[in-house]
Amino acid sequence: MPESSQRPAAALPAVPLLVAMQAAVAAASLVVEIVAGRMLAPYVGMSLYTWTAVIAVVLAGFSAGHWLGGRVAERPVGAALAANGWAMVAAALTTAAAVFVLRAAAEPVISALGAPVAAITTLTMAVFFLPSFFAGVPAPVLAHIAAQAAPDRAGRALGAMFAAGAVGAILGTLAAGFLFISWLGSVATLAVVTAAYVGLALLSFVLAGRAGRRVARALAAVLLLAPLGLAGAGLSRADPCTRESDYFCIRVLVVSGDPADPIRLMVLDHLAHGISARAAPEVQFTDHAAMLDALARARMAGRDFSAFFIGGGTYSMPRAWALRDPAPAVTVAEIDPAVTAVARTSFWFDPATARILHSDARRALAADPARYDVVIGDAFTDIAVPAHLVTEEFFRLVRSRLTADGVYLMNVIDHTDNMRAVASILATLNAVFPEVEVWTEAVPVAGPTRKVFILAAGARPSTVSALSTRAPDPLRFARLSEDWERRLLAGHEAVRLTDDYAPIDRLMRWTD
């Protein structure tokens, strides 16, 4: 007798089982969404644009999958369950393959497109659309079967299915953020999701058989094993992260492999955060660190002083200052304990030489009533400074934590054919501090380029207009004139940044 969608309810899966399946699919698919952001970070960073692309692509995948699932749900129950099983096989395969697709596609996509938003969106679509698409198929299939399994309580069954999807999504998000990525890492987390999809596929095939639909067992067995093998192959590949923390993919790269004089670079996600040499702790190997170091010491004029660092990174400057006589009293707010641990093990930093607060810098500064002679802001996390660290409200907090003669020094990287970020931060600092200066390397610029600026804000101006230091080659930088600052503010889109409105990601986008 041909299979019929009107098969007695006894042949249909129990509603609680279908609810559990829907919760599991939703949880697994949201784990993939959270992992997507972390996996993309070493290639395109972890910015507003990254998360916008991830959420949009995943929702697009779910939507297309739901549409297909609605068509599948109209089939007889056994056929619908079998199709659901094949969708779960496809979800497992594309999830396990995400590691390989990302590593193969990242460089060509980024090189071809250049513009960050286009590159991030295209790469996210290439890697994570299909896993989300296939994970979107089961929801309408399982909901339709649940309504048939409980025809006298169809409304309740549908409500339970929708609720299961929401609860599963919540649990998957929490598990990914608080458990899986922290303890297993991104690739192993995807392997767990792959195994979950394989289990759901197997269960779907079993239920399809009970509903009267035969499944090609040999083919199913081969395709069920394929994603598991692919996930295992992904686990065997070298992890791009030296250490994957709750916040960053931390990489330690060797700049100089000379055992007698090692030099190492720390990369957080895809942005270099510092370089240190074991034999030359006093040398700052990046332009911004060299300028911050020299300007801070010049402003303090050789006297004893205290300093608060927003961000630790390699802790190169606190390490250098600990060797000075007298050594400044240093406090560092570094949100990620793993960054501090890597600085200790790989960048020769002694944590005993500074007071370290593993907290968001704004929260740490607000909770700390102490006043400092120098506050240094060097907290780039991607293509921009975290928005809450460039607002008027934050700058007022900084001013309240400075001594009467103290100075706030901030690193900003902008593009010379744009300059809207520097202009906006300058305008915002001008609303808080009596004196604000812009410093940069004293060399002419030919054509559009990325350029490092240091903004100095305090109650008085600097006593010098130019300084020389090493980075490690000789570096001379100078204060830009007040006339240059006026022309900058007049000629660019200067936004006064507040906690309510701080579009720093948009302002830092280059125009080429």
Both tokens of residue 125?
């679509």
Q: What is the pLDDT of residues 365-379, one digit of tens each?
A: 999 999 999 999 987
Strands (E), 232-347: 243-244, 249-256, 263-268, 271-277, 306-310, 329-333
pLDDT at 363 over 60: yes
The whole-angstrom separation of Cα 510 and Cα 450 is 9
What pairing do the DSSP bridges indicate for beta strands 372-377 and 402-415? parallel
Q: What is the pLDDT of the chain when averaged over all its residues?
A: 89
Task: Give ∠ CA 450-456-461 in degrees, rounded to 5.
Answer: 135
Q: What is the pLDDT of residue 184?
A: 87
N- to C-terminal Cα distance for the chain?
67
Flag whether pLDDT at 117 surpasses 90.
Answer: no
As a whole number of angstroms, the distance between CA 408 and CA 426 comes to 12
**Average of per-residue pLDDT across 4-22:** 76
| Residue 74: predicted pLDDT | 95
Distance between CA atoms of 292 and 455, rounded to whole angstroms?
9
Give the pLDDT score at 445: 66
pLDDT score of 42: 83
φ/ψ region of 237 (left if φ > 0, alpha if ψ in -120 to 50, else beta) reads: beta
Question: For the whole model, what pTM was predicted?
Answer: 0.81
Delineate the domains of the chain, giving CATH numbers in brackets: 9-240 (1.20.1250), 281-507 (3.40.50.150)
Per DSSP, the three-state class of 377 is strand
Give the confidence band of 511 by pLDDT, cuts at 50, 70, 90: very low
Residue 450 confidence (pLDDT): 83
Looking at residue 225, its pLDDT comes to 80
What is the reported pLDDT for 87?
A: 96
Residue pair 311/334 in contact by the 8 Å Cβ criterion: yes
Distance in angstroms (rounded) separating the CA atoms of residues 243 and 250: 5
pLDDT, residue 503, reads 87
At 63-108, the pLDDT tens digits run 999 999 999 999 999 999 999 999 999 999 999 999 999 999 988 9
Q: Residue 505 has which token pair?
A: 């990601």
23-42 pLDDT tens trace: 999 999 999 999 998 888 88
What is residue 178's DSSP assignment? I
**pLDDT for the residue numbered 380:** 64
